[in-house]
A and B are shown apart, each in its own frame.
Chain A
Amino acid sequence: MAINMEEMIKVSNLTKSFKDKEVLKGISFDVYRGEVLCILGPNGAGKSTTINILTATLGKGGGEIFFKGGRINKKLKDYKQVLGIVPQDIALYEELSAEHNLRFFASLYGLHGKELSKAVDGALEFAGLTDRRNDKVKTFSGGMKRRLNIACAIAHHPELVIMDEPTVGIDPQSRNHILDSIRRLRENGITVIYTTHYMEEVEAISSRIIIMDHGSIIAEGTKEELKESIGNEKRYTIELEENKKVKEEELFSIEGVKSVKVNGDILEISSLKGIENLDRIIALLSDRGEKIRNIASEAASLEMVFLKLTGRKLRD
């Protein structure tokens, strides 16, 4: 489903401090109906604080949040009614069955009778847990709990789903299931705000990305726009048997090479896209008597965007 540009949430100059520590430094962004907005950033960037304020669980320091044009604190009940939240931790009653959990949480949003049963059936199917509906949650694997955690957030058919790192600590199969389910939510026109520090997840599901670091938004746009923003670069990582005498200056003499980093036996070279200079780099290394153990090339990635913007890797 195509994203229309109807503004759903507007965050304006949001601040938050814990004691003397300023964790959000006046961030502003919009969320449009039908999009999957990924908030990407390392631990401590302010993602979860932003989410906790957006879910009206944590008070804001300053700034405003608007929902469909009105301040959320003015119509909090209406706002919460259309909100589905997937917290970072598993938020389920372990002693109850999957169905009992879903029934209870969906009923908090006013569903009852046949409507409730239908919603619960739909959510169980969405999570792929129909055959385990009567089993206690404590008997589930971590991945199944994560899926049920999401199902509990969508059972009442919310318009906006907020997910705070929902794939932490799960197996690849369950992660793929969760990413597929987010695509399905998007196809059904549901707006999703998704925080993560996994680049590959952002690449897979995002309509738009916000990159946060140290409580500020440092970049915003589609993944294509963000990659464009760091220029037309690609990166080679060349592993040598033993770096004998290659000097950075020599590599800079090759056309298109923009940066060189020698890290022991590993060379990291950034080069302009479109200039085929890998053969010349290899030739230079051969001339200097170097033996190449491995070569990897990488087009512009979100990791490179983050590296360029902050000077460090996302998981540093």
Chain B
Amino acid sequence: MRRFFMILKLDIINLFKNPVLVGANTIFFVLLILIMGFLGSGNYADSKMSYQYYLISMIVYGMLNGAMTASNCFMERDIKKANLRIIYSPAGSFPIYFSKILASFLFDYFLHIIVVGILCASLGVTIGVHPVYFILLMAPVEFAAAALGIFFCCVFHSEEAASALLSTLVSLLCVLGGTFFSLDGMGSAVAFLSRISPVKWINEAFFTLSCDNSLHSFLLVFLSAVIISVLLVLGCSLTFKTEDYL
């Protein structure tokens, strides 16, 4: 256990020392939310509603993009070489990938909460009367995204391949889930695809929490994300091979 926490601590330090990842999870999303909110303000009764809509939808997009943070932390070229020494040590293989999942989750979760906090305060928008539930619901979604990133690395054996596929998958699911714009008026086929996109469900859970102050979808999304996380961690344990690090 001591070894695991040593590895976890170092993984977190390495993530915070990576300016690209810190920027991508903070400044990038702040700018994205501000630009999208500003551009979409004409479609809402007041600009605050626009900013609120894009704060929530872009944070969901950011949480899912956490998969790329995890794949970077696990198999990025330079980090990977140093991580090889963990494989050489008596630490065992479980701490190697699980610490990366946990570190990426904590890193993304922490930064995204800060982004939400800063934007709520500065733009005067709200995430509903249940902010604790909102923050709580972010946790399993962030964790599942991190586990997905590591799982893709285990399956495809390379960060480049995993990140390229994840980026495409996340963007596609987010478009289908109506993260960037509503797909309601695009015909029945698109509406059907949108309904089966898991991102649609995640978006709805966060929107009902913050706009309707309802816990209606909270438990369903929370438990689904936990179950998916467990399955992905199991998938990692089945597919992780130390030789992928060579």
Contacts and interface: CB of A to CB of B under 8 A. Distances in A.
B245 interface: yes
Contacts of A58: 242-243, 246
A110 B6 CA distance: 11
How big is chain A's contact interface, by range?
20 to 34
Interface residues of B, number: 26
Given A81-B90, A93-B14, A96-B13, A87 B81 contact: yes
Is chain B's binding surface mostly helix, strand, loop or mixed?
Answer: helix
Contacts, number: 71
Interface string B89-115: 111100000000000000000000000
B245 A57 contact: yes
A57 B242 contact: yes
B246 A105 contact: no
Contacts of A87: 81, 84-85, 88
Given A90-B81, A91-B82, A93-B82, A105 B243 contact: no
A105 B85 contact: yes
Interface in A82-107: 83, 85, 87, 89-96, 101, 104-105, 107
Given A57-B88, A108-B91, A109-B89, A94 B246 contact: no
B90 A85 contact: no
Given A52-B246, A59-B243, A108-B6, A92 B82 contact: yes
A268 to B, nearest CB: 40
Contacts of A183: none
B130 interface: no
A55 to B, nearest CB: 6
B81 A89 contact: yes
A105 B242 CA distance: 17
A152 interface: yes
19 contacts: A57-B87, A57-B88, A57-B243, A58-B243, A58-B246, A77-B92, A80-B89, A80-B90, A85-B85, A85-B88, A90-B81, A91-B84, A92-B81, A94-B78, A95-B18, A107-B6, A108-B3, A108-B90, A152-B85
